[in-house]
Amino acid sequence: MNRMSEAGEARTAIIDAKGLILGRMASMVAKRLLNGERICIVNAEEAVISGKRLSTIREARDALQIGHFRKGPFHPRRPDTIVKRVVRGMLPRTKPRGKGALKRLKVHIGVPRELGDRERETISEADAGNLRGPYVKVSELARNIGWNE
């Protein structure tokens, strides 16, 4: 690696999504992206969605019925693309500022080898331990709507 790429990686914030509420995490990540930060989310499949398990899965399956499989709208089924789509929904993606912010976001299933030794941060306001009600993991939702690991 050259010095330029090492400096670029050093400025990238790595967020561990394990045990974080998806919507709260996504809103905070979107705000940071708009402020110019580069963010990499790891363990995307371990994020949680609050709400009853069966109703959350039913809503996702009903949403899959909307549109045409070739013409769109296209619905993500992988955990990393589900998380990226949630963050995208919180950005002004049709404007140059939002497009640039979305380009600064990377989302991974698990922890990639090149990021394994780097320090990861978490978002305390989005901790799923604060939830009193039921929730479902993004990986479980993805399996129920058609993700084949």
Q: Which residues of 51-77 are buried (b: 16+ CB within 10 A; e: fewer)?
A: eeeeebbeebeeeeeeeeeeeeeebbb
- Smallest Cα–Cα separation from 50: which of 141, 149, 144, 131? 131
Q: What is the CATH number of domain 3-144?
A: 3.90.1180.10
Question: Is residue 79 within 8 Å of residue 138, measured between CB atoms?
Answer: yes
What global pTM score does this model have? 0.90
Q: pLDDT category, 3, cuts 50, 70, 90?
A: very low
Q: What angle do CA 51, 74, 47 make, to 5 degrees?
A: 35
| Confidence (pLDDT) at 76 | 95
Q: Report pLDDT digits (tens) over 75-93.
A: 999 999 999 999 999 999 9
Q: Report pLDDT digits (tens) over 43-84.
A: 999 999 999 999 999 999 999 999 998 999 999 999 999 999
All structural domains of the chain with their residue ranges: 3-144
Residue listed under structure tokens 């790891």: 42
**C-alpha neighbours within 13 Å on the C-beta side of residue 123:** 23
